[in-house]
Amino acid sequence: MTKADLVDKVTALGDLTRRDGEVIVDTLFDAVISALKSGDKIEIRGFGSFRTRQRNARTGRNPKTGSKVDVPAKRVPFFKPSKELRDTVNKRTHGGEIDVHLSPKVEREIEEAVDPHHPPPM
């Protein structure tokens, strides 16, 4: 989803012009950015929290030349999703059944462990 798609969704919610939708989305983003710049933490219940994390200075390596490079300390934005958001993203219902999406590696291991001609005893 792009910022334009988000503006379209906001505009479709009510009797708003596209310009009103852009102002709402820009205001939200500006508020999050300014809070992070000042070191504040933003918590949105049911969605997650935004904050900054401190990265220490380190010595890196230029992958092209192999020479050492000093990387200064810096703050980086960090998002932590809420438990509700994680559960919503990872579980979907199909006919009342909960379908948990597993990584391809785990799915392969399960398929290899279960012989379709000889199901495990219950």
Any domain includes 23: yes
35 domain-assigned: yes
In a domain, 62, yes or no: no
Give the bridge partners for 93, in sequence order. Answer: 98
User: Is residue 24 situated within a structural domain?
Assistant: yes
User: Could you give the CA distance from residue 6 to residue 17 in angstroms, rounded to a whole number?
Assistant: 14
Residue 91 lies in a domain: no
59 three-class SS: strand
Domain for residue 5, yes or no?
A: yes
The whole domain housing 25 covers: 1-40
Q: How many domains does the chain have?
A: 1
Q: Which residues of 43-58 are buried (b: 16+ CB within 10 A; e: fewer)?
A: eeeeebebbbeeeeee
> Tell me: the pLDDT tens digits for 107-121?
665 555 555 555 555
Q: Are 19 and 27 in contact (CB under 8 A)?
A: no
Structure confidence at residue 44 (pLDDT): 94
- Which residue did the predictor score with more confidence, 100 or 50? 50
Whether residue 61 lies inside any domain: the answer is no
Q: Is the pLDDT of residue 81 over 70?
A: yes
Token pair 């009103």 is at which residue? 20
What pTM, to 2 d.p., does this model score?
A: 0.64
Summarize pLDDT for 63-78 with one digit per residue, the tens: 999 999 999 999 999 9
